[in-house]
């Protein structure tokens, strides 16, 4: 790292080190925050820097980064917070399809520098002259190209298992988009509180199960979702949803054959994935079409609810999920 | 025991085993359903939920296993007889590569996402690519099996490269192709099977027609010609038959690799070099292997399931290794 | 061992180099082909050094190479492009030779180190590290090597029964590879999408991020192994005639075969450790080499040159052909397969 001039450590700053590797700190470089940002923006040396701690150690990043490149899963969460990256790695069509229009524009305005984390065009990345690189991909990819990224610009890296709220906090902090984050967080808290207040009785007395089917699922199989959006419904809202035993793989990792749709009859309410228009998602359609599904008590009595989950890696999509959950629960309360 | 009688008796045993497995495949699943309900589901149908599970899931799956297995076994026997190469399986002629490529294009560029949609792409891909390989590997004098196999590997590799490129740059396609690549007989409605059956029937007739000439071919091209075998016609018919079989099976179930490779070996060790017997045994042994594997896949990771294409190798490979160690074996 | 070879009229023009007691018998055509390949390789290497998505003039590249540039320009040329070119050449040559050894040994044009299950085994090892353990790159390399070696040994042991017979080795190898292949498919199927794609990219082999460290260590191993292959490869021609024929010419068949298998596997292992299993070079390079030199059997040197060129050109295309860079293994497959297909096609036409 000694031959990477951009990473020279400021000796004066003693960043408060966090015990957990995910936790990230930022300390303004003493005092003159309000100073001459515009004046220094074009000079070679960013006048204002701060130290942040992430999985790749303590990194000095510009206080107001102007040319951000996102690699791996950092792209859409950064854009969700209003960030405008100059370079991104390709996002999947299914993610892009549910993106709000202005976010999609921001994504499309950025240069594509690679398809997946490990296969980044480093020279193209260097040519973009970024002043900050945000990375989330597998540790083996980091071992391969991490040093080179750090040679190009200050690089902040998170592992794939970073919890989404901590991840949003971290990205907002490093990417200097904390205002948007606090707005989103407020909205999130309000929505959660509203759902809990309005449907308190249903939440307390009803047993739920969230089922889903992904593109990767073998034909004839589905899974009980206990990660992703339903984790939010369970842990933040408090819905009574099944959960894997401590230390075990999530239930979602087991592909259940359609035969086991029968077993869903023991739950009061079933939730399943739908797209923005409320139609069952393409992968899930085969489940809805089985006779066994149609014969389920919950389905017959209208207690099978479609939920729209546009993503669960940042507050924006999660808030849209909560809206969908809100209106789904509203149809239930009419039946009580 | 004289060979013909032993072969007939063996065939009977194989048939009985297959029948038992067909029954077990309907009886055993990832949830427990009483045998009486199974019986009622098959013969006194009503709108009972348990009966749905039998009629909608287990029965089609068993039928698919039977049809796909037989097709894979027979196509494997055909290609090994044709190429005289123990490394040959239908995948060698580019069947899987063609099907896989076509399905990836369908998934990645056209957004197709269901089994019925995949089917015709897979079938067309398999047929076109095999014909391409055939054209590649032939000269006006006929086709050399070695060149044909090499051509198959090349075409398969090139298409495989394009497929990988598509998949690795499109997470959605990669995601959807993960399961198709495993190969499975679950979740296919019987409507997927019916359209392929006429092709299988044609292939069966062709296989019967070429079985005699292929016997002569085993002795070498010159001797076969001396016995009046028409080389080009035999090879072309055999390739058409095996392509229809393997292509159809792949269209229904995805690429199930090991069955077509291993079963003909086992059949050969049981019945000797006569292709007609090898064909018959292969067509009956292969569905047995497939059904055993599928039943195992349903129960070993309960309540989850493992796709049959993954289990077949684990069931078949130890048998193959044991046989090759036990028998004094040679090429073909 | 030289003394056991009866004088043979090769029916071709031969180039015989003598120095004291060592004599090398070379075919003119092979020499010419290898020389031409070397020139093409050199040209491709210069091109790969000069061009990239970060625009640099030839002057800047030269300056960087002679140590007159610092900062990012130096990094790009000396730390990124140069080791990548070196790695492509060495790894390609290693894979070509390794394939040549196996195809000659097993007398089967479809044979490569994959036959003894090495490729599938190393992929299994890597997948377990990536998907189950979520390990670092060093662990990945360890897992891949361990997986490959254990599989190769298992296949050899399972195929051993009073000596190892080629056919039995192939069948056992297919069986074991099929099992591991299934396991690999399942691991990918069960994994999180990000992890699965990262693992799959490793599985086709990529030279992205190759460092001088890997080049130095890998290069030393490969140089030693290539030398060993040259020495051990001398009885290959006799072994191709069959075990009995080789034995009658004084070749100790079993030790010779085991030695060659070990060298072949070790070459592939070295490449796999550094870059993942770059597909298909070991399969097509010997075949292309044989067709270019028009030799009867598989020879090592042309396979090495073809392998190096194939790998280098493929890596160049992999970086530039698509909107986003691809793993090199994808291009080696397309390019190698396509070219071998073309050769087969013209060969078939010639025989009319």
C129-145: pLDDT as tens digits: 888 887 777 888 888 88
Look at residues A130, A151, A176 and tell me which one is the last residue of a structural domain. A176
Residue range of the domain that includes A247: 183-333
Q: Is B120's Cβ below 8 Å from some Cβ in C?
A: no
Q: What is the mean pLDDT of residues C253-271?
A: 85
| The pair of three-digit structure tokens given for residue A70, joined into one six-digit string | 């996102």
| Pairing state between β A57-62 and A49-54 | antiparallel
Lowest mean pLDDT segment, chosen from A229-233, A249-253, C185-189, C343-347 = C343-347
**Minimal Cβ distance to A295: which of B49, B175, B182:** B49
Task: Answer yes or no: do A74 and A215 share one domain.
Answer: no
Same-domain check for residues A99 and A44: yes
In the numeric block, the tokens 């492509």 are attached to: C88
User: pLDDT band for position B87 (50/70/90)?
Assistant: low
**CATH number of the domain residue A13 falls in:** 3.40.50.1980
Residues A238 and A298 in one domain: yes
Task: Convert the pLDDT of each residue in A104-132 to its tens digit.
Answer: 999 999 999 987 666 788 999 999 999 99
Q: What is the pLDDT of residues A2-41, one digit of tens each?
A: 333 333 333 323 333 233 333 333 333 333 333 333 333 4
A58, β-bridge pairs: A53
Is the predicted pLDDT of residue A154 greater than 60, yes or no?
A: yes
- Give the domain-ending residue among A176, A204, A220: A176
Which among B147, B262, B314 is the nearest to C344, CB-wise?
A: B147
Domains of chain B: 3-326 (1.10.3470.10)
Which of A176, A201, A216 is the C-terminal boundary of a domain?
Answer: A176
The answer, for B61 touching chain A at a CB cutoff of 8 Å, is yes
Average pLDDT over chain A, rounded to an integer:
82
Q: Report the pLDDT value the prediction gives residue B167, as an integer from 0 to 100.
A: 85
Which residue is closest to C162 within chain B, CA to CA?
A: B325
Which range (A296-310, B208-222, C110-124, C284-298) has the least confidence? C110-124
Q: Which of B47, B178, B179 has the most A C-beta neighbours within 10 Å, making it the best mutation to test the interface with A?
A: B179
Q: What is the pLDDT of residues C316-328, one digit of tens each?
A: 999 888 888 888 9
Out of A72, A90, A123, the one facing C76 most closely (by C-beta) is A123
Q: 3-state SS of chain C?
A: CHHHCCCCCCCCCEEEEEECCEEEEEEHHHHHHHHHHHHHHHHHHHHHHHCCCCCCCHHHHHHHHCCCCCHHHHHHHHHHHHHHHHHHHHHHHHHHHHHHHHHHHHCCCCCCHHHHCHHHHHHHHHHHHHHHHCCCHHHHHHHHHHHHHHHHHHHHHHHECCCECHHHHHHHHHHHHHHHHHHHHHHHHHCCHHHHHHHHHHHHCCCCCCCHHHHHHHHHHHHHHHHHHHHHCCCHHHHHCCHHHHHHCCCCHHHHHHHHHHHHHHHHHHHHHHHCCCCCHHHHHHHHHHHHHCCCCCCHHHHHHHHHHHHHHHHHHHHHCCCCCCCHHHHHHHHHHHHHHHHHHHHHHHCC
Angle separating helix axes A178-198 and A315-333, nearest 10 degrees: 10
Contact flag B31-A259 (C-beta cutoff 8 Å): yes
pTM, full prediction: 0.80
Instruction: Verify that A148 and A199 share a domain, yes or no.
Output: no
The answer to whether B69 and B290 are in contact (CB under 8 A) is yes
pLDDT of residue B294 exceeding 90? yes
Q: What ipTM describes this predicted complex?
A: 0.79
Which burial class, exposed, middle or buried, applies to B142 when counting CB atoms under 10 A from its CB (0-12, 13-18, 19+)?
middle
Classify B141 as helix, strand or coil: coil
pLDDT at C26: 63
A152 and A202, same domain (yes or no):
no
Residue from A44, A144, A164, A251 to probe the interface with C (highest C Cβ count within 10 Å): A144
Same domain, A17 and A97: yes
CA C334 to chain centroid: 16
Q: Please indicate, yes or no, whether residues A207 and A160 belong to a single structural domain of this protein.
A: no
Q: What is the pLDDT of residues B99-116, one digit of tens each?
A: 889 999 998 888 777 777
Task: Decide if pLDDT at B251 tops 80.
Answer: yes
Could you state, in order of their start, the residue ranges of all structural domains in chain C?
A: 2-350
Hey, are the CB atoms on C327 and A119 less than 8 Å from each other? yes
Question: Is A112 found in the same domain as A223?
Answer: no
Assigned fold of C2-350 = ABC transporter involved in vitamin B12 uptake, BtuC (1.10.3470)
Chain B, window 214-273: residues with a beta carbon less than 8 angstroms from a chain A beta carbon? none
Same domain, yes or no, for A263 and A321?
yes
Q: Which of A22-26, B120-124, C4-8 has the lowest mean pLDDT?
A: A22-26
Radius of gyration of chain A (CA): 22
- Counted domains in chain A: 2
| Structure confidence at residue C12 (pLDDT) | 55
Chain A interface includes C198 (CB < 8 A): yes
pLDDT digits (tens, 9 = 90+) for C17-38: 565 555 555 678 888 999 999 9
What is the pLDDT, as a whole number, of residue A10? 32
A78 shares its domain with A170: yes
B313 has a chain C CB within 8 A of its CB: yes
A192 lies in the same domain as A74:
no
One domain, residues A108 and A149: yes
Q: How far is C94 from chain A (nearest CA, A)?
A: 22
Instruction: Return the residue in A116, A220, A248, A263 with the most chain B beta carbons within 10 A, the one to mutate for interface testing.
Output: A220
- DSSP letter for B272, please: -
């Amino acid at each position: 790292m000694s031959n990477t001039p951009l990473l020279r450590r400021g000796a004066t700053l003693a960043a408060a080190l966090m015990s957990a590797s995910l936790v990230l700190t930022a300390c303004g470089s003493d005092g003159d925050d309000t100073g001459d940002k515009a004046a220094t923006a074009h000079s070679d040396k960013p006048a204002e820097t701060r130290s942040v701690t992430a999985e790749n150690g303590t990194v000095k990043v510009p206080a107001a980064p102007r040319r951000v490149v996102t690699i791996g899963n950092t792209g859409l969460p950064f854009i969700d917070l209003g960030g405008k990256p100059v370079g991104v790695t390709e996002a999947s069509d299914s993610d892009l399809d549910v993106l709000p229009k202005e976010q999609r524009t921001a994504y499309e305005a950025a240069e594509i520098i690679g398809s997946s984390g490990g296969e980044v065009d480093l020279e193209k990345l260097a040519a973009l002259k970024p002043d900050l690189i945000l990375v989330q991909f597998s540790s083996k990819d980091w071992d391969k190209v991490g040093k080179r990224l750090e040679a190009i610009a200050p690089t902040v890296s998170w592992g794939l298992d970073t919890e989404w709220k901590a991840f949003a906090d971290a990205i907002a902090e490093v990417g200097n988009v904390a205002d948007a984050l606090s707005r989103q967080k407020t909205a999130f808290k309000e929505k959660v509180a509203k759902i809990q207040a309005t449907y308190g009785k249903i939440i307390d007395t009803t047993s739920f199960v969230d089922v889903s089917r992904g593109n990767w699922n073998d034909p004839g199989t589905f899974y009980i979702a206990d990660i992703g959006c339903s984790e939010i419904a369970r842990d933040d809202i408090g819905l009574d949803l099944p959960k894997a035993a401590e230390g075990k793989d999530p239930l979602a990792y087991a592909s259940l054959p359609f035969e086991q749709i029968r077993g869903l009859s023991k739950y009061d309410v079933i939730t399943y994935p739908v797209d923005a228009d409320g139609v069952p998602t393409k992968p899930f359609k085969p489940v809805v079409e089985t006779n066994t599904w149609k014969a389920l008590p919950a389905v017959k009595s209208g207690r099978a609810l479609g939920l729209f989950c546009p993503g669960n890696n940042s507050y924006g999509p999660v808030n849209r999920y909560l809206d969908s959950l809100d209106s789904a629960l509203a149809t239930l309360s009419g039946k009580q | 025991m004289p060979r013909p009688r032993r072969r007939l008796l063996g065939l009977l045993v194989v048939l009985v085993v297959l029948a038992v497995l067909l029954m077990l495949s309907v009886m055993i699943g990832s949830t427990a359903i009483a045998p009486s309900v199974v019986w009622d589901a098959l013969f006194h149908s009503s709108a009972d939920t348990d009966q749905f599970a039998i009629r909608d899931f287990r029965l089609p799956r068993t039928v698919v296993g039977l049809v796909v297995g037989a097709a894979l076994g027979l196509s494997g026997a055909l290609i090994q007889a044709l190429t005289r190469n123990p490394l040959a399986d239908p995948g060698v002629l580019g069947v899987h590569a063609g099907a896989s490529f076509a399905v990836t294009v369908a998934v990645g560029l056209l957004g197709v996402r269901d089994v019925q949609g995949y089917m015709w792409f897979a079938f067309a891909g398999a047929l076109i690519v095999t014909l391409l390989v055939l054209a590649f590997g032939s000269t006006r004098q006929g086709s050399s099996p070695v060149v044909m196999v090499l051509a198959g590997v090349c075409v398969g590799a090139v298409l495989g490269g394009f497929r990988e490129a598509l998949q690795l740059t499109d997470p959605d396609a990669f995601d959807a192709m993960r399961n198709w690549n495993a190969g499975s007989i679950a979740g296919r409605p019987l409507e997927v099977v019916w359209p392929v059956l006429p092709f299988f029937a044609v292939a069966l007739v062709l296989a019967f027609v070429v079985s005699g000439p292929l016997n002569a071919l085993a002795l070498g091209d010159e001797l076969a010609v001396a016995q009046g075998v028409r080389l080009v016609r035999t090879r072309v018919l055999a390739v058409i038959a095996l392509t229809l079989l393997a292509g159809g099976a792949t269209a229904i179930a995805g690429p199930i690799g090991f069955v077509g490779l291993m079963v003909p070996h086992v059949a050969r060790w049981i019945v000797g070099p006569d292709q007609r017997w090898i064909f018959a045994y292969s067509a009956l042994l292969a569905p047995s292997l497939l059904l055993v594997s599928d039943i195992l896949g349903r129960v070993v990771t309960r309540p989850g399931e493992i796709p049959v294409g993954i289990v077949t190798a684990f069931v078949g490979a130890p048998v193959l290794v044991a046989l090759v160690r036990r028998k004094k074996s040679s090429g073909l | 061992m030289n003394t056991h070879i009866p004088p043979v009229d090769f029916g071709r023009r031969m180039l015989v180099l003598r120095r004291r007691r060592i004599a090398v018998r070379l075919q003119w055509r092979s020499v010419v082909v290898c020389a031409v390949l070397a020139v093409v390789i050199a040209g491709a290497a210069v091109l790969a050094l000069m061009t990239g998505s970060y625009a640099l003039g030839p002057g800047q590249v030269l300056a960087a190479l002679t140590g007159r540039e610092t900062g990012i320009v130096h990094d790009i040329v000396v730390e990124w492009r140069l080791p990548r070119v070196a790695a492509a050449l060495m790894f390609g040559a290693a894979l070509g030779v390794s394939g040549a050894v196996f195809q000659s040994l097993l007398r089967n044009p479809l044979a490569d180190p994959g036959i003894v299950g090495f490729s599938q085994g190393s992929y299994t090892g890597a997948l377990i590290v990536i998907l189950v353990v979520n390990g670092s790159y060093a662990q990945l390399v360890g897992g891949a090597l361990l997986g490959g070696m254990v599989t190769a040994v298992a296949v050899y042991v399972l195929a051993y029964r009073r000596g190892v017979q080629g056919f039995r080795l192939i069948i056992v190898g297919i069986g074991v590879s099929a099992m591991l292949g299934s396991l690999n498919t399942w691991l990918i199927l069960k994994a999180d999408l990000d992890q699965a794609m990262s693992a799959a990219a490793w599985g086709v082999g990529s030279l992205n991020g190759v460092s001088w460290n890997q080049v130095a260590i890998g290069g030393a191993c490969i140089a030693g192994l290539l030398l060993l292959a040259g020495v051990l490869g001398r009885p290959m021609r006799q072994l191709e005639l069959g075990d009995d024929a080789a034995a009658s010419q004084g070749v100790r068949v079993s030790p010779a075969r085991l030695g060659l298998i070990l060298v072949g596997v070790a070459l592939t292992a070295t490449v796999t450790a550094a870059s993942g299993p770059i597909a298909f070079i070991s399969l097509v390079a010997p075949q292309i080499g044989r067709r270019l030199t028009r030799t009867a059997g598989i020879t090592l040197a042309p396979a090495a040159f073809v392998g190096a060129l194939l790998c280098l050109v493929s890596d160049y295309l992999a970086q530039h052909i698509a909107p986003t860079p691809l793993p090199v293994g994808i291009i080696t497959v397309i390019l190698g397969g396509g070219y071998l297909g073309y050769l087969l096609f013209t060969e078939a036409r010639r025989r009319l």
